[in-house]
């Protein structure tokens, strides 16, 4: 199946929220949070489309502590499109855009029992830096980084 990666905009909000709810039960972003992210100047949002259908989306925010970095805020692929490298393609695309905005690093958090996502990040050379105790309330998180 052919997927097109393109910028997301507020017109996609309903579709993105449906996928978000399908992907997460307790930790899902609200529709309002997704709307905020889609309109935030410091955010980069992409969708993967299979024809007219949105198969997945990814949102990162540009942040700074000691260095500038892209922070992957959410990454979701609708159930029926999983296992087809949609997430891989979206991550690779957003890394290019993060680099273009001047950052040499990408960071993200993941639940420590989310083996699919951990395998995905590891396959793309993200490295686990530390555990984030209680990060998800009901579970611990892991903090991953990648040099771009
Ligand atoms: C995690 C998720 C984004 C992966 O999306 P995807 O498009 O199916 O992933 P890809 O096809 O690009 O997979 C790339 C690699 O990730 C790993 N992976 C993906 N799904 C996996 C699974 N169910 N079990 C184990 N490893 C998996 C594999 O290493 C895979 O490489 P391979 O196909 O050569 O084995 C998707 O399962 C999802 O949306 N999950 C719910 C939301 C979520 O957890 N998001 C991440 C939050 S941090």
For the chain, the 3-state helix, strand and coil shares in percent, each to the nearest 5, are 35, 35, 30
Distance CA 51, CA 106 (A): 29
Query: pTM score, two decimals?
Result: 0.97
Atom of ligand 1 nearest to the CA of 84: 11
Is residue 114 lining ligand 1, measured as CB closer than 6 Å? yes
End-to-end CA distance of the chain: 28
User: Which residue has the least CA distance to atom 23 on ligand 1?
Assistant: 116
| Contact call for residues 116 and 105 (beta carbons, < 8 A) | no
Residue 74 binned pLDDT confidence (cut-offs 50, 70, 90): very high
Is residue 4 lining ligand 1, measured as CB closer than 6 Å? no
| Contact call for residues 6 and 55 (beta carbons, < 8 A) | no
- CATH number of the domain at 29, please: 3.40.630.30
Is residue 58 lining ligand 1, measured as CB closer than 6 Å? no
Residues 11-67 pLDDT 10s = 999 999 999 999 887 778 999 999 999 999 999 999 999 999 999 999 999 999 999
Distance CA 108, CA 83 (A): 21
What does the block give as tokens for 17? 């929220």
Separation of CA 117 and ligand 1 centre (Å): 5
Distance CA 51, CA 35 (A): 23
What does the block give as tokens for 98? 């993060």
The count of domains in the chain is 1
Residues 100-111 pLDDT 10s = 999 999 999 999
| Domain limits for position 81 | 4-147
Atom of ligand 1 nearest to the CA of 89: 12
């Amino acid at each position: 199946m052919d997927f097109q990666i393109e910028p997301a905009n507020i017109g996609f909000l309903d579709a993105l929220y449906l996928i978000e709810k399908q992907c997460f039960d307790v930790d899902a972003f609200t529709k309002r949070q997704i709307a905020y992210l889609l309109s935030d100047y410091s955010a980069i949002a992409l969708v993967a489309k299979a024809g007219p259908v949105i198969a997945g989306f990814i949102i990162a925010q540009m942040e700074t502590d000691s260095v500038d970095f892209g922070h992957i805020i959410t990454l979701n692929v609708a159930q029926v499109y999983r296992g087809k490298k949609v997430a891989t393609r979206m991550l690779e695309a957003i890394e290019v855009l993060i680099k273009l905005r001047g950052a040499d690093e990408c960071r993200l958090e993941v639940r420590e029992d989310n083996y699919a996502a951990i395998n995905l990040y590891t396959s793309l050379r993200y490295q686990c830096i530390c555990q984030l105790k209680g990060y998800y309330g009901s579970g611990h998180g892991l903090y991953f980084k990648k040099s771009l």
